[in-house]
């Protein structure tokens, strides 16, 4: 017995060192932490329980039988984040460059299965060199089995990927199927094929950073939902995100004590919307003054900035926010904004998170670039997402709600539960100028008449009243009581019960 | 007494006049430009009249519009506030012609005091001591030396047309006087095309001390003591106090008597201010008389208990002064801090934008403390580029100067402004300055003590411990709440630890916590590395902008702004980012690389929010160091942006007429 314990201690010590002191130093030298260090930051101290520490690969080709390192390049297990269970796996770059072997894949599959069975979130930390070439098709098979589990878990438990180093080839598709991907700036990159292959095939010369760095994926490709300056920052922010998320699609929305009363009026909001309809303002100020303590976790902050998405809390309960951003492109809906918001709305709906929508939208963005790029289909994604969502939906129109974009933005007609408008709301088919030019085409030559028509159009339609008269707006509220009214609406909707017709699944315009 | 008056001003002074008028039962009329349609003074007044577009030259400075507004609304009198039309005799005359009373002095007094030369002559005739000097033409260097010797060294040799220090010299003896005369003369000729030179006594260690006078239309005039306004930045007053820590009763009485004599000499009727310059030996010399209500009048009100606006209104209505000189007593000490929308770390450049948060300290009035905040803005208001950047005048009163300073320090700590840059860190730094606390002031105080501009102070060890303890309490409160997060598993891990590391800048402080009580109020003892335990107590709740409590016996009001994984704490002019970590996470965090700062050396950034007036270069142009690249207008001021070194313009991102945010890239260089 004593020998076994000694051996256990000794083997554990070896396993804990992963690829050894030298490789750990090299990892630190690159400004990165090791897999196990990362997990100690991500998880509550002392809460990590590691599985499969002694797993070794079974490959014998290319002399691999001689080099075996316990753990096989990935650290897996479970722990808690502020006391709540999460499953984790972290690629260990110090062991075979974190490359994926058959056994390595099996370790990941084990925690994936456990996370799904026990309905708890799973977080993957990536820092690896792709498939272990020596294992050939066994590694490929391993990837696909991991992918399959990502698919089955999607919409059941939150799946989060944090890219903290290289992530290429087969490694990219598992994160791609998770709910959120975050990256570490200057130290991580993601691509299907790397710069060398790109050079050979297309003759493009490009660096790894240019091809798949955090900047590219957070601003252009929209692959990543956010980026952080270094490992510790990123891991601590993952903890913050986990605090917002339910454990699964059947778990209740997380609830924290709220320290900030919702009854306090905020008169500064009465002045948020400028008198001049063409002057922008920052919708994030409204979000930050609506959520508890101004605590807002933004998703895709750097992509399609004309729409803002993210999580906040109202009276302690997690709430998803979608808001047109007048500061960027006047808050117009384009393909990127529609896709970004649609994905966010679907996440919230899948996990029972109520959605609050702030509307100030001048319409869809016109132009060949948008139409050729499939604006119809991308715009339809957001329409579809709002239309199918059965979670509580509270909508507030702050200023413009024009045309088809009005319909799309969680309107009453898409089963919006409570639809508010500020007195500054203008709900109409289009702005006055465009409308008058169409309705009164014959008077176009007469500026006086056009001015009179414009005035009468503005008086009649550029207000919340036409919509309110029809019941499309439930109530016109003062900006200063927005937080209170939204909180009340969400309280009212806590027991909302709505189901869509049975179907195998829908056919969202992908 | 009037039934209705119009206030021909905006901002805090309009609001301040409205308050007194309302208390006196007088209806008020505000005037406003397009930019002020939603302003506080408009909301406060009983009526409001629109008088034009935003620029003051097209609204607040147009006398006819204001007179028209007074006529339409039936206002019987007009209070001009300060600035704008307050010292324009023609405005008073035009009002008089319409039978409307000007709440201020008569045109004769305004005219007499409006001109620097005339006012000095009148002052001298009234027996007011003026700076000894020679105003007539000086023929040559020898005459200059003779005159200088007669005045008594040191002397100041000045160009008549001068300004901004050009053509100005100090001479300590005959040789320097000769030399200074020649040089100033040639400099004046080349700079101003006017080589007239005059010589006056150079005042050593000058202090700006002014006397408040009050006179009625029945020949009564009194003074209300002095205010010291030596703390100025480029002639802009920053801190004022009453009384002056420098004057003795004798000097005060002498200055007061002279000020009253001058007021009587010009038949002054209203509140007015006689400004003096005082040297290190308490010799005082007349500078000028301001024939209006001064910005800094509240400090006088606080020590005399009088309402100067009320007095002005009563005098204008023909009443006799209700008090005689003997009734005036100076009680306690009052300090005023001017809160400006200016960024102190960017050379005090104006800052404009939306006040996303504006939460001044609570006003209070007890036997040993008064906090008063005169303001014209509110949360959500827009600070525009059209007017003076002053957003509030924060005043405190206490029985002693020390207590008044401490009260000001605390009040500044609790003054929350978000959305624009402001000078409160600078004001807080001034309050802590030993020279200010000792009252050793001169008008060069800021230039001498902040020669390279203002940099936020680095906290010393004691301050750092307090800041770290505050940060730690916030984190513990956050952790404690997370301890009750729904869905935790039992037995849970992630309990609140006792050992912590607080990172402030590059410093990492090891701290430990004991005897914690959590709940509505949080209390624990905290021990920083190498220091004894200190008790901390606070009622702070997450989301509060202010942290109020005590650390180691020091009462603290600090401002907390959460940022990713950390918080920014502002206290007593310090502004630090503090991150609280467990010792283990702190060890790993220490391994993280420092973020490289983006290279902006090849860019021209907009130093303040403003309007591009002109772009003086084009793409491909080679520019030399010092060459004008662009002109940005903000707060009525044109700021010329020059090339820092030789470069070639590669891209221009802005065009004339654009409104730019701070740090917006205007152009790039190759």
The rounded distance, in Å, linking the Cα atoms of A315 and A200 is: 56
The rounded distance, in Å, linking the Cα atoms of A482 and A487 is: 8
Question: With 80 as the cut, is the pLDDT of residue B527 above it?
Answer: yes
Is A122 exposed, middle or buried, given 0-12, 13-18 or 19+ CB atoms closer than 10 A? buried
Question: For domain B461-589, which architecture applies?
Answer: 2-Layer Sandwich (3.30)
A36, A43, A83: best to mutate for the B interface, most B CBs within 10 A: A83
Which of A84, A259, A270 is opposite residue B488, by nearest beta carbon? A84
* Among B450, B451, B424, CA closest to B558: B424
The whole-chain average pLDDT of chain A stands at 94
pLDDT for B76 equals 97
Sequence ranges of the domains in chain A? 1-244, 267-425+463-493, 431-462
pLDDT for A181 equals 98
Q: Are B543 and A293 in contact (CB < 8 Å)?
A: yes
- Residue with the bigger pLDDT between A156 and A439: it is A156
Question: With 80 as the cut, is the pLDDT of residue B451 above it?
Answer: yes
What is the ipTM score, two decimals? 0.94
Confidence band, pLDDT 50/70/90 cuts, at residue B660:
confident
Question: With 70 as the cut, is the pLDDT of residue B165 above it?
Answer: no
Per the document, the length of chain B is 670
The rounded distance, in Å, linking the Cα atoms of A246 and A238 is: 14
pLDDT in tens, B109-129: 999 998 777 888 899 999 999
pLDDT in tens, A290-342: 999 999 999 999 999 999 999 999 999 999 999 999 999 999 999 999 999 99
Range from A42-56, A62-76, A474-488, B359-373 carrying the lowest mean pLDDT: A62-76
Question: With 90 as the cut, is the pLDDT of residue B349 above it?
Answer: no
φ, ψ of residue B376 in degrees (nearest 5) = -125, 15
Question: With 70 as the cut, is the pLDDT of residue B266 above it?
Answer: yes
B383, B541, B588, B596: best to mutate for the A interface, most A CBs within 10 A: B588
Domain A267-425+463-493 sits in CATH 2.40.50.140:
no
Confidence band, pLDDT 50/70/90 cuts, at residue B657:
confident
Question: With 90 as the cut, is the pLDDT of residue B197 above it?
Answer: no
Q: Which tokens belong to A391?
A: 């979670």
The rounded distance, in Å, linking the Cα atoms of A357 and A283 is: 11
Segment B34-38 shows an average pLDDT of 92
Contact A464, A478 (CB under 8 A): no
φ, ψ of residue A361 in degrees (nearest 5) = -130, 125
φ, ψ of residue B353 in degrees (nearest 5) = 140, -170
Sequence ranges of the domains in chain B? 4-103, 116-127+209-329, 132-201, 332-452, 461-589, 603-669
The whole-chain average pLDDT of chain B stands at 91
Question: With 70 as the cut, is the pLDDT of residue B162 above it?
Answer: no
Segment B400-420 shows an average pLDDT of 96
The rounded distance, in Å, linking the Cα atoms of B641 and B654 is: 14
Helix (H, G, I), strand (E, B) or coil at B109: helix
Q: Are B378 and A79 in contact (CB < 8 Å)?
A: no
Segment A421-442 shows an average pLDDT of 89
Other C-beta atoms lying within 10 Å of the C-beta of residue B544: 16
CATH superfamily of B132-201: ATP-grasp fold, A domain (3.30.1490.20)
Query: May I ask the CATH class of domain B116-127+209-329?
Result: alpha beta
Segment A412-433 shows an average pLDDT of 93
pLDDT for A460 equals 84
The rounded distance, in Å, linking the Cα atoms of A47 and A33 is: 19
Question: For domain B332-452, which architecture applies?
Answer: 2-Layer Sandwich (3.30)
Q: Same CATH topology for A1-244 and A267-425+463-493?
A: yes
The rounded distance, in Å, linking the Cα atoms of B553 and B536 is: 8
Range from A11-15, A333-337, B159-163 carrying the lowest mean pLDDT: B159-163
pLDDT for A114 equals 98
* pTM confidence score: 0.90
pLDDT for B486 equals 81
The rounded distance, in Å, linking the Cα atoms of A232 and A229 is: 9
Confidence band, pLDDT 50/70/90 cuts, at residue B163:
low
Segment A189-217 shows an average pLDDT of 93
pLDDT for B166 equals 63
Name every residue whose Cβ is closer than 8 Å to that of residue A222 and which is 6 or more positions away in sequence: A300, A303, A304, A336, A339, A340
Q: Which residues of B touch A241 (CB under 8 A)?
A: none
Q: How far, in whole angstroms, is CA B168 from its chain's centroid? A: 27
pLDDT for B627 equals 81
pLDDT for B131 equals 87
Q: Any idea what DSSP says for residue A333? A: B
Angle at B572 between CA B569 and CA B576, to 5 degrees: 30
- Residue with the bigger pLDDT between A163 and A468: it is A163
Q: Choose the CATH number for A1-244 among 3.40.50.150, 3.40.640.10, 3.90.226.10, 3.30.70.260.
A: 3.90.226.10
* Among A49, A47, A129, A44, CA closest to A95: A129
The rounded distance, in Å, linking the Cα atoms of B224 and B294 is: 13
Segment B407-436 shows an average pLDDT of 95
pLDDT for B161 equals 67
Q: What percent of chain A has pLDDT over 90?
A: 80
Other C-beta atoms lying within 10 Å of the C-beta of residue A22: 9
The rounded distance, in Å, linking the Cα atoms of B629 and B616 is: 5
CA B22 to chain A, closest CA, distance in angstroms equals 24
Q: Are A37 and B588 in contact (CB < 8 Å)?
A: yes
Q: Compare all CA atoms of chain B with the CA of A233 and give the residue at the minimum distance.
A: B565
Confidence band, pLDDT 50/70/90 cuts, at residue A500:
very high
Question: With 90 as the cut, is the pLDDT of residue A509 above it?
Answer: yes
Interface of B with A (CB under 8 A): 37-38, 354-358, 378-382, 481-489, 492-494, 497, 541-544, 562, 564-565, 582, 584-585, 588-589, 591-593, 595
Range from A66-70, A231-235, B545-549, B586-590 carrying the lowest mean pLDDT: A66-70
Question: With 90 as the cut, is the pLDDT of residue B493 above it?
Answer: no
Segment B83-95 shows an average pLDDT of 94
Confidence band, pLDDT 50/70/90 cuts, at residue B388:
confident
pLDDT in tens, A347-387: 999 999 999 999 999 999 999 999 999 999 999 999 999 99
Helix (H, G, I), strand (E, B) or coil at A427: strand
The rounded distance, in Å, linking the Cα atoms of A148 and A159 is: 13
Name every residue whose Cβ is closer than 8 Å to that of residue A441 and which is 6 or more positions away in sequence: none
pLDDT for A40 equals 96
Which residue spans within A130-224 are E strands per DSSP?
159-163, 166-168, 180-184, 189-191
Q: Same CATH topology for B332-452 and B603-669?
A: no
CA A160 to chain B, closest CA, distance in angstroms equals 19
Confidence band, pLDDT 50/70/90 cuts, at residue B164:
low
CATH code, B603-669:
2.40.50.100
pLDDT for B132 equals 87
Name every residue whose Cβ is closer than 8 Å to that of residue B250 and which is 6 or more positions away in sequence: none
Q: Which residues of B touch A259 (CB under 8 A)?
A: 481, 541-544
- Residue with the bigger pLDDT between A46 and A395: it is A395
Are β-strands B101-102 and A180-184 bridged in parallel, bridged antiparallel, or unpaired? unpaired
Q: Which residues of A touch B379 (CB under 8 A)?
A: 266-268
Buried b (16+ CB within 10 A) or exposed e, B392-422: bbbbbbbeebebbbbbbbbbbbbbbbbbbbb
Domain B4-103 sits in CATH 3.40.50.20:
yes
pLDDT in tens, B211-247: 999 999 999 999 999 999 999 988 889 999 999 999 9
Side-chain half-sphere CA neighbours of A153 within 13 A: 33
pLDDT for B664 equals 83
Other C-beta atoms lying within 10 Å of the C-beta of residue B69: 22
Q: What percent of chain A has pLDDT over 70?
A: 100
Query: Catalytic residue positions of A?
Result: 169-170, 404-405
Q: Is the alpha carbon torsion for B347, B352, B353, B359 positive or negative?
A: positive
pLDDT for B636 equals 57
pLDDT for B653 equals 87
Q: Compare all CA atoms of chain B with the CA of A80 and give the residue at the minimum distance.
A: B493
The CA dihedral of A139, A143, A146, A147, to the nearest 10 degrees, is -160
Helix (H, G, I), strand (E, B) or coil at B128: coil
């Amino acid at each position: 017995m004593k020998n076994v314990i000694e051996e256990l201690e000794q083997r554990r010590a070896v396993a804990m060192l992963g690829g050894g002191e030298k490789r750990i130093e090299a990892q630190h030298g690159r400004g990165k932490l090791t897999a196990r260090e990362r997990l100690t930051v991500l998880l509550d101290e002392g809460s990590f329980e590691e599985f499969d520490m002694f797993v070794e690969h079974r490959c014998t080709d290319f002399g691999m039988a001689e080099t075996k390192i316990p753990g096989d390049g990935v650290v897996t297990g479970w722990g808690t984040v502020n006391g709540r269970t999460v499953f984790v796996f972290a690629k260990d770059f110090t062991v075979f460059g974190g490359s994926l072997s058959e056994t390595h894949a099996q370790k990941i599959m084990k925690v994936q299965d456990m996370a799904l069975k026990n309905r708890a979130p799973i977080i993957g930390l990536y820092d690896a060199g792709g498939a272990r070439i020596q294992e050939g098709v066994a590694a490929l098979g391993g990837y696909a089995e991991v992918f399959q589990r990502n698919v089955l878990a999607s919409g059941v438990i939150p799946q989060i990927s944090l890219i903290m180093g290289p992530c290429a080839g087969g490694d990219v598709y598992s994160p791609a199927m998770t709910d959120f991907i975050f990256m570490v700036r200057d130290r991580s990159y993601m691509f299907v094929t790397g710069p060398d292959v790109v050079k050979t095939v297309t003759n493009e010369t490009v660096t790894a950073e240019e091809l798949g760095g955090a900047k590219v994926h957070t601003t252009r490709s929209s692959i990543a939902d956010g980026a952080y300056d270094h490992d510790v920052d990123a891991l601590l922010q993952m903890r913050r995100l986990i605090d917002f998320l339910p454990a699964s699609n059947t778990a209740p929305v997380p609830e924290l004590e709220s320290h900030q009363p919702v009854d306090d009026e905020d008169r500064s909001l009465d002045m948020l919307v400028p008198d001049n309809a063409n002057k922008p303002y920052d919708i994030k100020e409204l979000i930050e003054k609506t959520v508890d303590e101004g605590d807002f976790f933004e998703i895709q902050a750097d992509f399609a900035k004309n729409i803002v998405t993210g999580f906040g809390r109202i009276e302690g309960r997690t709430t998803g926010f979608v808001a047109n951003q007048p500061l960027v492109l006047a808050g117009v809906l384009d393909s990127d904004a529609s896709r970004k918001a649609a994905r966010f709305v679907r996440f919230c709906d899948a996990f029972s998170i109520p959605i609050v929508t702030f509307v100030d939208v001048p319409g869809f963005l016109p132009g060949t670039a948008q139409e050729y790029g499939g604006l119809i289909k991308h715009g339809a994604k957001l329409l579809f997402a709002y239309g199918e969502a059965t979670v509580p939906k509270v909508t507030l129109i702050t200023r413009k709600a024009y045309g088809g974009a009005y319909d799309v933005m969680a309107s009453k007609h898409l089963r919006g539960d409570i639809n508010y408008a500020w007195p500054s709301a203008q709900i109409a088919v289009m702005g006055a100028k465009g409308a008058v030019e169409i309705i009164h085409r014959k008077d176009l030559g007469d500026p006086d008449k056009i001015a009179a028509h414009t005035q009468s159009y503005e008086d009649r339609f550029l207000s919340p009243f036409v919509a309110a008269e029809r019941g499309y707006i439930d109530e016109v509220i003062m900006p200063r009581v927005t937080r209170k009214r939204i909180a009340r609406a969400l309280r009212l909707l806590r027991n909302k019960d709505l189901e869509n017709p049975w179907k195998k699944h829908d056919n969202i315009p992908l | 007494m009037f039934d209705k008056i119009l206030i021909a001003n905006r901002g805090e002074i309009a609001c301040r006049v409205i308050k007194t008028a309302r208390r006196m039962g007088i209806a008020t009329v505000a005037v406003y430009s397009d930019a002020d349609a939603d302003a506080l003074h408009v909301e406060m007044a009983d009526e409001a009249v629109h008088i034009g577009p935003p620029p003051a030259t097209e609204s607040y400075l147009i006398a006819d519009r204001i007179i028209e507004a007074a006529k339409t609304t039936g206002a019987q009198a007009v209070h001009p506030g300060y600035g704008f039309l307050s010292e324009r005799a023609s405005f008073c005359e035009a009002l008089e012609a319409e039978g409307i009373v000007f709440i201020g002095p008569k045109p004769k007094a305004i005219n007499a005091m409006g001109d620097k030369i005339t006012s000095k002559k009148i002052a001298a005739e009234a027996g007011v001591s003026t700076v000894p000097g020679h105003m007539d033409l000086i023929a040559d260097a020898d005459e200059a030396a003779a005159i200088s010797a007669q005045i008594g060294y040191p002397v100041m040799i000045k160009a008549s047309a001068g300004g901004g220090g050009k053509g100005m010299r100090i001479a300590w003896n005959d040789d320097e006087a000769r030399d200074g005369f020649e040089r100033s003369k040639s400099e004046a000729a080349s700079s101003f095309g006017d080589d007239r030179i005059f010589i006056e006594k150079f005042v050593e260690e000058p202090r700006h001390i002014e006397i408040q006078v009050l006179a009625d239309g029945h020949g009564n005039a009194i003074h209300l003591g002095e205010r010291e306004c030596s703390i100025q930045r480029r002639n802009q007053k920053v801190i004022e106090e009453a009384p002056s820590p420098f004057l003795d009763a004798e000097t005060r009485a002498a200055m007061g008597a002279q000020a009253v004599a001058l007021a009587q000499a010009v038949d002054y009727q209203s509140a007015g201010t006689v400004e003096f310059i005082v040297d290190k030996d308490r010799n005082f010399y007349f500078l000028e008389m301001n024939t209006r209500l001064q910005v800094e009048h509240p400090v006088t009100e606080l020590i005399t208990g009088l309402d100067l606006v009320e007095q002005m209104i009563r005098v204008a209505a023909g009443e006799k002064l209700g008090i005689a000189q003997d009734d005036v007593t100076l009680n306690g000490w009052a300090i005023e801090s001017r809160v400006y929308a200016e960024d102190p770390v960017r050379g005090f450049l104006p800052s404009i934008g939306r006040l996303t948060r504006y939460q001044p300290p609570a006003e209070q009035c007890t036997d040993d403390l008064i906090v008063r905040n005169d303001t014209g803005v509110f949360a959500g208001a827009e600070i525009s580029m059209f007017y003076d950047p002053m957003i509030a005048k924060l005043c405190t009163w206490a029985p002693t100067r020390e207590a008044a300073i401490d009260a000001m320090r605390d009040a500044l700590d609790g003054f929350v402004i978000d959305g624009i840059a402001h000078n409160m860190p600078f004001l807080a730094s001034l309050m802590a300055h030993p020279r200010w606390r000792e009252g050793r002031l001169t008008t060069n105080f800021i230039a001498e003590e902040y020669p390279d501009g203002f940099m936020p102070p680095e906290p010393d060890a004691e301050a750092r411990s307090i800041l770290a303890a505050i940060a730690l309490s916030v984190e513990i409160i956050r952790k404690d709440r997370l301890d009750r997060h729904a869905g935790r598993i039992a037995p849970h891990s992630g309990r609140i630890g006792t050992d912590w590391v607080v990172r402030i800048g590059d410093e990492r402080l090891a701290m430990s916590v004991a005897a914690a009580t959590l709940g509505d109020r949080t209390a624990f003892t905290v021990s920083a590395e190498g220091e004894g335990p200190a008790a901390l107590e606070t009622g702070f709740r997450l989301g509060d902008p202010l942290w109020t409590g005590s650390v180691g016996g020091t009462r603290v009001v600090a401002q907390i702004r959460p940022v990713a994984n950390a918080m920014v704490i502002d206290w007593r002019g310090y502004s630090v980012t503090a991150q609280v970590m467990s010792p283990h996470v702190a060890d790993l965090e220490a391994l993280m690389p420092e973020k490289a700062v983006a290279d902006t050396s090849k860019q021209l950034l907009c130093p303040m929010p403003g309007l591009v007036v002109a772009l003086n270069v084009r793409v491909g142009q080679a520019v030399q160091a010092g060459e004008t690249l662009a002109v940005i207008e903000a707060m009525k001021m044109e700021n010329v942006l020059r090339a820092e070194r030789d470069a070639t313009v590669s891209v221009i991102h802005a065009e004339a007429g654009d409104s730019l945010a701070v740090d917006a890239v205007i152009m790039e260089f190759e």
